Homo-oligomer: A and B are copies of this chain.
Amino acid sequence: MQGISRRHFFGAVCGGCLAVREGFRATPVQAQAGGTAAAAGPVRTSRFGPNDTLGNMNLLTPQKVQEAARLVTQGRAYPMGIVVDRSTPAFPPRSVGVTVLMPGQEGGQTFGNNKMSYVDDMISGWLGVGTQIDTFAHLGVDYTFYNGNKAQDFVRTTGVTKLGVENVPPMVTRGVLVDLAKFKGKPRLDGGELVTADELRQAMQQQNVRVTPGDAVVLHTGWLSTLPENPKRFGDEEPGIDGAGAQLLAGMQPCAVGADTWGVECVPFKDPNVVWQGHQILLAQNGIHILENLDTSALVRDGVSEFMFTLGQPRYRGAVQAIINPVAIR
């Protein structure tokens, strides 16, 4: 059982890591597709036109922003970003750390008669750690990304030349939260627990969550509470949706889909030969951003299911992800 699930996990999930750990490669390019890989067709042209790079961010009209602001009735702001450090589990081989120093102040020196002292900080590591946004440049189908952009045309070692994180406009919109743990009647879902499209639909119905175009949809599974308890387990698996669930959500036209898990989708995958299909459907086929490791705990504790969602991500030129801290306000 353990053996099987590990095989599923490593066989399917992990790119660089599995190669390193096991000398094993996920289905190579010459593999013949089975019947399940619905998304593995060519990426279609965006309904916003062949030159569009914004996807459903196009739906963030002034009306939408105003609607979002009107949701602020209590005056409470919730940080949805988690704290990241060297020990934060992440998709291998990712990690990140900061180093702090006091430049030019060796031996107790200060600057000026006013004795200025200062601390500076360096960062080194990967951007896909902790709470993060996946841009359309992050994941695609057979080297083709959102709106038909080919890796060969825009992926460069010094940064992507299109679809980069610097181009994502402010995400100010209505946010809605679906409490999947509550729906399933437990404090948190299990690792590898799939929330089917049907269950997702039911949960939303039951909890009266209606998505309107341009919303940010946030799924609460409770899984993030595993992180402090068992970081390794947290990073090895997760509950979540699959391709069908992503398709269901895409039909509702949100600007973003997020969760309190590191990958939104159920891992290990149910079919180990179909990996991150939900990402393909959301990012590549529908122009919908993905938000991972969102801290939903306080929102759920306070019974919040609708809120003003705000996100201004750091604008590194050519990056495909960013470590973020969206703020939910209600």
Whether the Cβ atoms of B119 and A127 lie closer than 8 Å is: no
Smallest beta-carbon distance A173→chain B, Å: 9
Output the nearest chain B residue to A310 by Cβ-Cβ distance.
Answer: B310
Q: Does A25 contact B (CB under 8 A)?
A: yes
Q: How far is the CB of A147 from chain B (nearest CB, A)?
A: 15
* Chain A 105-136 residues near chain B, CB threshold 8 A: 105-128, 130-131
Interface centre among A16, A127, A138, A272 (most CB of B within 10 A): A16
Give the residues in chain B near A316, CB-CB below 8 Å: 83-85, 96, 98, 121, 123, 323
**Nearest Cβ on chain B to A275's Cβ, whole angstroms:** 4
Docked-complex contact A85 and B318, CB < 8 angstroms: yes
Of A80, A272, A322, chain B has the most CB atoms within 10 Å of the CB of: A322
**How close is A292's CB to chain B, nearest CB, in angstroms?**
13
At the interface with chain B, which of A58-66, A179-187, A232-240?
A58-66
Classify the secondary structure of A's interface with B. loop
In the bound complex, what is the Cα–Cα distance between A105 and B112 (angstroms)?
A: 21
The listed residue (B80, B111, B141, B314) touching A115 by CB distance below 8 A is: B141
Assess whether A16 is in contact with B158, with CB atoms less than 8 Å apart: yes
Q: How far is the CA of A322 from the CA of B73 in the complex (A)?
A: 30
Residues A114 and B327 in contact in the complex (CB < 8 Å), given A100-B158, A119-B137: no
**A202, CB-defined interface residue at 8 Å:** no
A320 within 8 A of B: yes
Q: Which of B63, B112, B141, B327 contacts A275 (CB 8 A)?
A: B112
Complex-state Cα separation, A173 to B67, whole angstroms: 18
Q: Is B109 a contact of A94 with CB atoms below 8 Å?
A: no
User: Given A124-B124, A319-B121, A104 and B18 touching (CB < 8 A)?
Assistant: yes
Is A211 located at the chain interface by the 8 A CB criterion? Answer: no
CB pair B157 A99 closer than 8 Å? yes
Contact B157 A93 (CB under 8 A): yes
Does A205 have its Cβ within 8 Å of any Cβ on chain B?
no
Point out the residues of chain B lying under 8 angstroms from A139, CB to CB: 116-119
Question: Given that A26-B111, A69-B69, A308-B69 are known contacts, is A157 also in contact with B327, CB under 8 Å in the complex?
Answer: no
- Report if A227 contacts B (CB, 8 A): no
C-alpha spacing A17/B110, complex, angstroms? 14
- Nearest CB of chain B from residue A127's CB, rounded to whole Å: 5
Contact with B along A139-183 (1 / 0, CB 8 A): 111111100001111011111110000100110100000000000
Asked whether, in the complex, the Cβ of B16 is within 8 Å of the Cβ of A113, the reply is no
* A82 within 8 A of partner (CB): yes
Are the C-beta atoms of A317 and B98 separated by less than 8 Å?
yes
Is B36 touching A113 in the complex (CB atoms < 8 A)? Answer: yes
Judge whether B157 and A279 touch: CB under 8 Å.
no
Given A275-B111, A275-B116, A308-B69: A20 touches B122 (CB 8 Å cut-off): no
Contact of A315 with B by CB under 8 A: yes
On A, residues with C-beta under 8 Å from B are 12, 14-20, 23, 25-29, 31-34, 36-40, 60-66, 68-70, 72-86, 93-94, 96-128, 130-131, 137-145, 150-153, 155-161, 166, 169-170, 172, 272-277, 279-280, 308, 310-327, 329
